[in-house]
Amino acid sequence: MLELLFRMQVSAQNIIFIVIIFTCSLVVAAAALLTYVRMYNDRKKKHFEEKRIMASEFDQQLMQSQLETQEETMSMLSKELHDNIGQLLNSTKLLIGVTQRSLSDPPDTLVTANETLGLAIQELRSLSKSLDKEWLSQFNFIQNLEAEISRINSSRTLHIFLTRPESLPLKPNEQIILFRIVQELVQNAIKHAQAEHFYIKITKFPGKLQLTLSDDGSGFDPDAVQEGMGIRNIRHRTHLLGGSVVWQSAGYKGTVVLIELPVNQAIA
C-alpha cells in the first residue's frame, strides 16, 4: 500500500512538473511571439517613416529646384526689363522731350504723352527691382513705401500721409511681409472705403514696433463683416511676424488699424 501511495505521489509530482514546463514553454513562446510582432511593427513603422522622410525630402528638393529656377527666370527678366526695354523707353522719352522743347506751343497731348511715359518708366523700374533677388535680399520698407505713396499721391486717387522713424528694426524678409500688409490696407481704403485721406504712423518702442493706419472712408463693423481674403492675408502675415492686428471702426465712419510687432533691438 505504501509503495502504491509513493508511486501515485511521484506520478502527481511528474504531472505538476510537466504542467509547469508546458506553461513556461507557452509563456516563452507567447513572449517570443509578442517580441516578434513588436519588432515587426517597429520595422514596419520605421519603413513607413523612412518613406515619409524620403517623400518629404523629395518634395523639398523639388520645391527648392522650382524656386531656384523661378529666381533665375525672374533675375533674367529683371535685367531684360531694365537693360533693354527700359533703355528703349528712356530713348523714346528723350526724343519726345526734344520735340516738345523745339515747339513754341507743344500740344497738350504731347505733354501728357511725355508725362505718361515717365510714369511708365517709373513703374517698369519698380517692377524690375521687385523681380531682382539681390534687391529683395536688401529690401527697405521705408524707401519702397515712400515710392508707393508718391505713386498713389500722383494718381490723386488717395492722398497718403506718412510719419515714420529713420529705419525699422526688422530683417529684409520681415520688411517685405510688412510692406505687403500695408499695401493691402491701402488698397482696401481705395477699393472698399472710398477714402480720400490715409494716414500711416510708425512708432518704435523698446522691443516693439507699432503701426497706426487710419482713413476717412466709409468704415465698417469689424464684428459683423465677413472676413475676405484681404483681411485673412493681413492677419496671417501679421501672425508670421509674431505680431497682432486690430481693426477699429467706431460709428462706421473711417477705419483705424493697429499693428504691433515684436522687434529685435540689435537690428538697427
Mean pLDDT of 170-188: 89
pLDDT at 43 over 60: yes
Bigger pLDDT: 88 vs 141: 141
Decide: 212 and 219 in contact? Cβ < 8 Å: no
pLDDT of residue 226: 54
The residue to which cell 490715409 is assigned: 198
Q: How many CB atoms lie within 10 A of CB 6?
A: 10
Per-residue model confidence as pLDDT tens digits over 105-142: 888 888 888 788 887 777 777 766 666 666 667 778 99
Burial (CB count within 10 angstroms: exposed 0-12, middle 13-18, buried 19+), residue 175 = buried
Residue 227 has what DSSP assignment? P
pLDDT at 90 over 80: no
Per-residue model confidence as pLDDT tens digits over 220-263: 766 655 566 678 889 988 998 999 999 887 656 788 999 999 98
Highest mean pLDDT among 72-81, 200-209, 212-221, 249-258: 200-209
pLDDT of residue 213: 95
Task: For residue 91, give the amino acid letter.
Answer: S
pLDDT of residue 198: 95
| Cα–Cα separations (whole angstroms), residue 24 to 20, 27, 29, 36 | 6, 5, 8, 18
- Give the C-alpha separation, 141 to 171, whole Å: 10
As given in the structure block, the three cell numbers for residue 56 are 518629404
pLDDT of residue 6: 47
Q: What is the dihedral of CA 103, 107, 113, 115, to 10 degrees?
A: 80
| Cα–Cα separations (whole angstroms), residue 131 to 34, 71, 80, 152 | 60, 8, 11, 21
CA 167 to chain centre: 22
Decide: 182 and 211 in contact? Cβ < 8 Å: yes
- Give the C-alpha separation, 240 to 67, whole Å: 20
As given in the structure block, the three cell numbers for residue 72 are 533665375
Mean pLDDT of 15-37: 71
Bigger pLDDT: 250 vs 205: 205
- Give the C-alpha separation, 102 to 98, whole Å: 6
Bigger pLDDT: 65 vs 210: 210
Bigger pLDDT: 259 vs 84: 259
As given in the structure block, the three cell numbers for residue 151 are 505713386
pTM of the model: 0.55
pLDDT of residue 190: 86
pLDDT at 150 over 90: no
- The domain limits of the chain are 1-138, 159-268
226 three-state secondary structure: coil
Contacts of 16 (CB under 8 A, 6+ apart): none
Select 159-268's CATH number: 1.10.10.10, 3.30.565.10, 3.30.590.20, 2.60.40.2310.
Answer: 3.30.565.10
Bigger pLDDT: 44 vs 64: 44
User: Which stretches of the chain are assigned E, i.e. beta strand?
Assistant: 159-163, 197-205, 208-215, 244-248, 255-262
